[in-house]
Structure 1
Amino acid sequence: MTQPSIPPTSNSPASHPVYRAHQFQKFAIDLALWTLAAVLAYVFRKPSALTESSFGLNVLVYFLISGVIMAVLSSYYGLYRQTWRRIGVPDLLVLLRAVLLATLGGLAMAFLLYGYLDLPRSVPLMTGVLGLLLMGGVRLLSRVLHERVPKGQASGQRRVLIVGAGDAGTLIAREMLRHPESKMRPVGFVDDAPDKHGTSVMGLPIFGSVDTLPEVVRREDVQQVLIAVPSADGTFVRRVVDLAKDTGVSYRIIPGVFEILSGHVTLGQIRDVNLEDLLRRPPVELNTAEIADYLRGRTVMVTGAGGSIGSEIVRQIVPFGPARVVLVGRGEGSLFAIQQELRRLAPALPQTALIGDVRDQDRMRQIFAEQRPQVVFHAAAHKHVPLMEAAPSEAILNNVIGTRNVVQMCLEYGVERLVNISTDKAVNPTSVMGASKRMAEKTVSAGAARAQPGQALVSVRFGNVLGSRGSVVPTFMAQIRQGGPVTVTHPEMTRYFMTIPEAARLVLQAGGLAENGRVYVLNMGQPVKIADLAEDVIRLSGARDIEVVYSGVRPGEKLYEELLTSSEGTDATTHSEIFSARLEQVDPQGLDRDIAVLEQAAHAGDFGVIRRELDRIIPENKFGSLG
């Protein structure tokens, strides 16, 4: 049985005198309607009783007893706290329970008073039916009146066509009808489900499939298309955007599936379609229990905490209940920014922000000795291919030597888990940056071979990150703001893409899988042509007549990226979208010697030795190739 709701505290809005008076009014209306139902039931059942002298006494006794029963049940179920103008099926089910119990109480009374009171046993049953109709009808009427658009207000409102006639579309249509001040008026739906075509939702027609959108827009004078399919992948969103763009109307989207399931969709959450919505695969979701197990109550360190990925990792760690967060970074501006944001996100969470360079082994030893982290996310790295091609020493010192230092400190200070962030550019590398990240993966694997029981050192390999500082998207947007053109290096260049939050989620999930020495790879779907991505950015910006020009492949770049080398296979993991690469065995002593040679060449600025050694250590590299 549904339990009574907790009464409001003295400090809550429900304790306000006006609110309490409003509740009393609803309580009184319910009792009046129930009384009317009892009188009508008695009269319908025994019309002749109107002329009998005992009629008044019978009705009075029945009303008093049934009224007391309904008053008790109304209080128990909190019927007077229901918001009538937003009444829904769950509220009506609560009302139905109360009426059923009141009806049973009336039947019991009819049996107990049989012989003493002229009360046919059908009267309580009829009272229940009439009471449910009256009390439920008043609630539904209140909602209908609230959602009715007053005459004169329909003019001046944007006519909105909703894509998707499911729960999300229904919720947002209802919000529009409730709030005419939003200046949005739903005209109907389009939906690809054939069984919905020709039907209606909330009195609004479902015109047909999504492919009929242009025809519906013209016929119904639609001014805006709203995508209300939270589970839709990028291909579907792209299809709707293209259809809307062809008709010349604006297009927007509602939040994701979690907001829909929680019922928190509001008109204020409608937003423009962004690049993440156009990803050609569904975003990867998390096994939150697996992540919570290794983060809760731990001291968690993030290197490169001020960067795009590092800062997002910090944000996503917070809900899993770490005991403390240690932020390590070289750039004081970006580190200060994420520190301040973390204080706003989780003011009670202990945190420490430390300036430190992973290349400085002494500084790393000092930080690890003082902070004693139990989980480390290593996000500090140089990632820009052309810049590292011009400065190989920096790539070696930051990506290889820095990773070696972090691995060594994790081993020395008994860190439980290290998650190193790698890249698809480490596979068959054609650039110094990619080769340096491949060396970082090898360094983590060599460290894993030296790990103690209970320690796990892993790497995570993923593609380009939309919106990160090294992504092409900010460059495209800057070029569009300047009036174009948008530059793409080659018409056939493709890349795998993911969002910043998705990349951070993968890192956290890999920490939960954490089989020592593994490299985890995300199933990233189909690669995206950079030229297509440029067109998407231009389309979403609303710009017109922006030209895409091809500037030529830059040093170190590949036409396409790979997630695995030819010698690597994959093993399944407990997460359906994450795989484990089967790497070649690493000789830790031999790798130490190789890194020492690279370190010496980097300090000496000897680019020739660096390239020669990388070529020897990584035989699958493709320096000088375009892929």
Structure 2
Amino acid sequence: MGNVFKITELRYIPRWLVFFIDISIISFSLLISNLILKNLNTEINFIEYHNEKTVAVLAVNILFMVLFKTYAGIIRHSTFFDFFRIVWSSGSTLVVLLGFNFLAESVWGKSVYVNPVLFFFFFISTFLMFFFRMATKQLFKMLMDPKDSSSKIRIAVVGVDEESVSLANAIIHNRRHPYQLTGFLSTRLDSKKARLLGHTIYNKREFIKANNLSNQIDAVLIKENMPKQEMEEWTNLTLNKGLKILKAPVINKMNEGGIIGGIRPLQIEDLLNRKPIKIENGEVKKRHFSKSVLVTGGAGSIGSEIVRQVVQFNPSIIVVVDQAESPLYELELELLERFPEQKFEFVLADISNIYRLEKLFEDYQFSTVYHAAAYKHVPLIEKNPHEAIFVNIGGTKNLALLSKKYNVNRFVMVSTDKAVNPTNVMGASKRAAELFVQSLQNSSDNTTKFITTRFGNVLGSNGSVIPHFKKQIEKGGPVTITHPEIIRYFMTIPEACELVLQAGTMGQGGEIYVFDMGTPVKILDLAKRMIKLSGYTPDVDVKIDFIGLRPGEKLYEELLTDNSTTIPTHHEKIMISRDPVMEFEEIEILCNQIMRAAIKKDRLQVVKILKTIVPEFISNNSEFEVLDKTPEHEVYQ
């Protein structure tokens, strides 16, 4: 039975067979046309040459079939383009035979063919050839679908424009994928009784009022390039109806099969994403082309994306430094495969080891340093404050001093909004690092431009809230939130890295660049939306628990200090924060003091000195709140 022919295994009908069937169709059409004429009792000229006349008609038609390649299209994917090729072929045959009749009348005084026969032949043959293609297409649809349609996801496509129709056609033609087209959704009110590709068009009003849509539709498909406001609106409507929402890729980026494979559930990142900053590629490329670039924390979320963006500008070498062995190795494999022409150096090192770093500065003479290495998890750092001192302050100090010593053109530090009016050790350590970097700008013999970028939470970064919520939802809950009123700013990883690159281009030294991050997001609303996007009902299918603020955590983050002033730049989304600064001599003494305390693992002393460096640092929900109750911070030499 394994050798038995199966039509489901037939990808397409061979062209020679299509050609043979078309010849059979035109022969049959000519026979029918002659029978019609015979019943009309019309006088036929040159009846003794009937066979020759028949062969001539067929020969002319076959010639044009070959010229217009009517047999070349894949039958099960026939479109009106194939119909037009048939029309051109049959129409050209008609014109040639009518022209031959005209010549015959001029020479012999009578036509060879009866004109009505030619017209009958044209219409009948055209109709039958196209009908054959449509019937075969439908047969393939019925026989080549390996899945029971009841097991498929019934999809309604948003929109009735050309791109939406193309998406619908891709779903129809790719029967092996788990989707079934059931209709279209539109904001237009004039499409109530219209049908598209044989399916119903529901307008938005009908969609809102309908109570039994789940009996007809399982999911709504939106397009990747849909405006954010429209996407948000359809998402809310769809989730309120208890339906799934899927997202299709931009149709001009891939072929039909790839489009279907690219359909995926809508992610919360899609709704939080905003229009990214437009980079001045000319300036950015000028800063990196044929230059040596160092990226610290290069295996992390931000650092690795900086590397991926910098490589587009053809630097002479990118040195990637990180102390996380496995992520660094995985990044090495990825980058060497994606960018085989680019020269990389992957270095396993701790930035708190200045001797290890100095060898890199000696060997590579960096033009630009992107400093993204840092400890960032607030609760862990609150328990281990000395580690933040070693890496966030000491590591930054090492890199900044080496950049000055080796005349690096630009040093760009990645900071955080938690450095503003910090309530935890992590944020305060980053603010201290900012102060040290800024202080070097006007220090003696400095030629390096020291620049800081400051932004909020990054979507999808390692350890961030969204991947954490996803894991909790996959396990069935509960989703844990520290406080019902907690809010955060969010941005995408590409946005964050574009800001870093642009700041490195714009900065003249000493600036802290902040980003217009839009409206902050309530974490409770974020969790509820993620649960709904996963197909569940909050507090019914997946419970939400409030666990209380963690040590050092606050309800909202800020991008500017109380004493800062904001200066606009030529980018409407990028501003300069003029924060209070410290002299290099002063901050250097304090950094040396805090490093000594960190080496002794004296946790209280570490935080005391940190509060001296960052006076606005007021601990929240932390054991270090006791230090804020004393009138003055004691600083031990």
TM range (shorter): 0.7 to 0.9
1:158 aligns with 2:152: yes
1:126-183 CA deviation, whole Å, 9 max, x = no partner? 9999999888777666655545688997652436142512455433432332234435
| Whole-angstrom distance in 2 between the partners of 1:514 and 1:101 | 69
Question: Aligned residue for 2:276?
Answer: 284
Amino acid at match of 1:284: P
C-alpha contact (below 8 Å) 1:423/1:434 kept by paired residues: yes
1:467-501 CA deviation, whole Å, 9 max, x = no partner? 32332344445555676544322221110123445
- For structure 1, which runs of at least 5 residues remain unmatched after alignment? 1-17
1:546–1:65 Cα change, 3 Å: closer
| Whole-angstrom distance in 1 between the partners of 2:359 and 2:578 | 33
| Whole-angstrom distance in 2 between the partners of 1:513 and 1:80 | 61
- For structure 2, which runs of at least 5 residues remain unmatched after alignment? 1-9, 622-637
Question: Aligned residue for 2:624?
Answer: none
Match of 2:246 among 229, 249, 253: 253
1:192–1:300 Cα change, 3 Å: farther
Question: Aligned residue for 1:328?
Answer: 321
1:458 aligns with 2:454: no
Match of 1:535 among 528, 532, 539: 528
Give the paired residue count. 593
Question: Aligned residue for 2:432?
Answer: 439
Q: Secondary structure at the match of 1:461?
A: strand
1:490–1:154 Cα change, 3 Å: closer
1:170–1:504 Cα change, 3 Å: farther
* Aligned-residue offset at 1:359: 1.9
Match of 1:351 among 344, 349, 357: 344
Normalising by structure 2, report the TM-score.
0.73
1:220-277 CA deviation, whole Å, 9 max, x = no partner? 713511332323567766665565555555x141244477687665333332333313
* Aligned-residue offset at 1:502: 4.4
Quick check: 57-66 or 401-410, which moved more?
Answer: 57-66
1:407–1:133 Cα change, 3 Å: farther
1:192 aligns with 2:187: yes
| Whole-angstrom distance in 2 between the partners of 1:163 and 1:240 | 11
* Aligned-residue offset at 1:332: 1.5
**Alignment of structure 1 residues 22-41 onto 2, 5 Å:** 22-23=14-15
C-alpha contact (below 8 Å) 1:210/1:240 kept by paired residues: no
**Alignment of structure 1 residues 114-129 onto 2, 5 Å:** none
C-alpha contact (below 8 Å) 1:325/1:351 kept by paired residues: yes
Quick check: 175-184 or 489-498, which moved more?
Answer: 175-184
C-alpha contact (below 8 Å) 1:392/1:602 kept by paired residues: no
1:36–1:302 Cα change, 3 Å: farther
Q: Secondary structure at the match of 1:569?
A: strand
Question: Aligned residue for 2:568?
Answer: 571
Q: Secondary structure at the match of 1:190?
A: strand
Normalising by structure 1, report the TM-score.
0.74
Q: Secondary structure at the match of 2:345?
A: strand
Amino acid at match of 1:489: T
**Alignment of structure 1 residues 79-94 onto 2, 5 Å:** 82-87=73-78
Quick check: 168-177 or 27-36, which moved more?
Answer: 27-36
Question: Aligned residue for 2:207?
Answer: 212
Amino acid at match of 2:554: K
Question: Aligned residue for 1:623?
Answer: 618
1:414–1:253 Cα change, 3 Å: farther
Q: Secondary structure at the match of 1:228?
A: strand
C-alpha contact (below 8 Å) 2:248/2:259 kept by paired residues: no
C-alpha contact (below 8 Å) 1:312/1:500 kept by paired residues: yes
Question: Aligned residue for 1:490?
Answer: 483
Identity %: 30
| Whole-angstrom distance in 1 between the partners of 2:449 and 2:546 | 45
* Aligned-residue offset at 1:534: 3.0
| Whole-angstrom distance in 1 between the partners of 2:73 and 2:341 | 36
| Whole-angstrom distance in 1 between the partners of 2:193 and 2:434 | 57
Q: Secondary structure at the match of 1:435?
A: helix
Match of 1:341 among 313, 319, 334: 334
1:222 aligns with 2:216: yes
C-alpha contact (below 8 Å) 2:75/2:136 kept by paired residues: yes
| Whole-angstrom distance in 2 between the partners of 1:106 and 1:300 | 71
| Whole-angstrom distance in 2 between the partners of 1:450 and 1:132 | 86
Q: Secondary structure at the match of 1:556?
A: coil
| Whole-angstrom distance in 1 between the partners of 2:90 and 2:65 | 10
Amino acid at match of 2:395: G
| Whole-angstrom distance in 2 between the partners of 1:73 and 1:416 | 64
| Whole-angstrom distance in 2 between the partners of 1:39 and 1:546 | 71
Root-mean-square deviation (Å) = 5.2
Amino acid at match of 1:341: E
Question: Aligned residue for 1:548?
Answer: 544
1:116–1:399 Cα change, 3 Å: farther
* Aligned-residue offset at 1:334: 2.2
**Alignment of structure 1 residues 330-479 onto 2, 5 Å:** 330-347=323-340, 349-413=342-406, 415=408, 417-446=410-439, 457-477=450-470
Amino acid at match of 2:376: K
Question: Aligned residue for 1:6?
Answer: none
